[in-house]
Structure formats: C-alpha cells, structure tokens
Amino acid sequence: MLYKIGEIAEILGVTRDTLRYYEKRGIVKPVKGAENDYRYYDFWDVNFLLDCIWYRAYDFSLEQVADIFKMESYHDISDMFRGKEEEYRAAIRRNELLLERSEHQRAELARIEGLLGRCELAMCPEHILYFNRYTEDFANSPKLNRLSREWLSFMPFTHRYFEISADDLTRDDGRDYRWGLELSSHYAEKLNVKVAPPIEHRPSVLCVRSVFKNVGKGNFSPRHLRYMVDYAKDKEMTVCGDASGILLASVPEAGDFAGYFEAWLPVE
C-alpha cells in the first residue's frame, strides 16, 4: 500500500519538512503519481523513516541522522555514538550542577525571613566578581561587552552583586556603589572561570550579615545598610571594608517590586 506525505507525517508524528529533508538526502525515495506531483511512500520507506526516528530519539540532529545513512561501516556508527556519549556526560554534569544550584537558591530564600532587618556575625563567602555598572552607568566597550556576555552565560550560578564604599555608608548623600555579577569560588571552579583583571577576587572575612528590602525603582541607597553599621558599633567592632551583597529575590509588592538583598559588612 502507498501513502501520501500527509498520511505518513500523521502516522509517524513527523513534519512534512522533515520527510522532504530525508528525501533530499536520499534516505527515502517516494514515487510521484503519474497524474499529479503527490509523493507516495511504501512500507520500505516507512522502515527507513522508523530508523530515522530511532536515531533522533538519541538526540542526533537531522543532519547527523542523514550522515549515518551514508556511513560505510558500523564502526563509523559506533564512533557517532561515542561522541554522543560525551554530550550526555556533559549534560549530566550540567544538570547535577543545576540541581545543586537550585537547592542552594532555596536555602538562600529560606534565610530571608530570619535575617530581614536583623544582624548576625558570619563569614562571608569567598567569591569572584565582575563589575559592569558604576552607580547608574554601564561599562560599555567591545572588550567589556564580550566579558559581560561571557558572564551572562554563567547564569544561573551567578548573583546580582553590589558593593558600596565604607565612606558612603554614613553619608546621607552617598551614592557611590558598583554593580555586577558574583560567582562563589565553588561555582567558579566548577565552571572553569579564570580570575584575571578586570575580574576581582574577594576572600572570606568576618562580617555583619543581614537581609534588607528595597522597594521601587531608583530607591536603592547606602542608607539601607545604616542599621548594620550601628550593629557593629554596638558590638564594639570596627568597619574595615566596603559593604557588599547579592540580590536574593524580587517580588511584586503594593504595585511595585521589592528586592530582597543579603548584605555583608566587613568588621574586626
């Protein structure tokens, strides 16, 4: 029995374009009707199309599947599978890392309630940083733009990161801060990220840690961290470095968005 291209597409769950591609590559050879240009497929064509679907189930591309049908030896096919196995291993490593990152993210979100507006002493994580915005101005050059795109490819293992000079923490008009992306040293190692200027490294140091909330566009200010400075003074500790922090989450609130930030203030 012969089948039209639309019937085969429906039976096998493939598109007409895919069937035409396999025909173009010589995998199937449907006959054309004597009185029309309709393509007709027989059971032999269906057998080869089932082979194509089987290879596609391994996530081989259409082009790779077509190439397999041109290979002269099953050894060559074995080599194709060996290459695909490397892709699987890389995908497994990536998914394992994503699973770990998701678990870390949930732990970070769980800290918000307990630390919001409250302070504690803790060691900040060791991390590396890429800064691309200074107060409200983005760095803009071909070299930095390439670096920005590279760091964007590290998402979701990065955090949005800010750093505020220690002097600005006590000034009412302070607006000297930097924004960028942060990677913990753990994920930087997993992703093989190179640390070289303008990439910066920050060691783990003793800090006052807290979570604060910023609501609305343009309202981010060093004043949000003033209570952390007061906490350090109450503990008879000295601020010994710039304040920093990461964005944990943004959620809608009262017709605007509230950003929840985990912040660190180095002390000694």
Average pLDDT, rounded, for the chain: 91
- Statement to judge: residues 54 and 166 lie in one domain: no
- Statement to judge: residues 138 and 199 lie in one domain: yes
Q: Is residue 31 part of a domain?
A: yes
- Statement to judge: residues 59 and 112 lie in one domain: no
- Statement to judge: residues 147 and 193 lie in one domain: yes
pLDDT digits (tens, 9 = 90+) for 5-60: 999 999 999 999 999 999 999 999 998 877 777 888 999 999 999 999 999 999 99
- CA 248, chain centre distance (Å): 15
**Gap between the Cα atoms of 250 and 260, Å rounded:** 6
- Statement to judge: residues 212 and 116 lie in one domain: yes
pTM: 0.80
Instruction: Find residue 181's DSSP bridge partners.
Output: 130, 160
What CATH number is associated with residue 206?
3.20.80
- Statement to judge: residues 41 and 147 lie in one domain: no
CA distances from 239 to 58, 169, 234 (A): 57, 10, 12
Domain residues for the domain of 148 are 93-266
**Gap between the Cα atoms of 58 and 86, Å rounded:** 13
Number of domains the chain is built from: 2
Closest by Cα among 260, 213, 261, 268 to 236? 268
Point out the least confidently predicted range of 42-56, 131-145, 208-222. 131-145
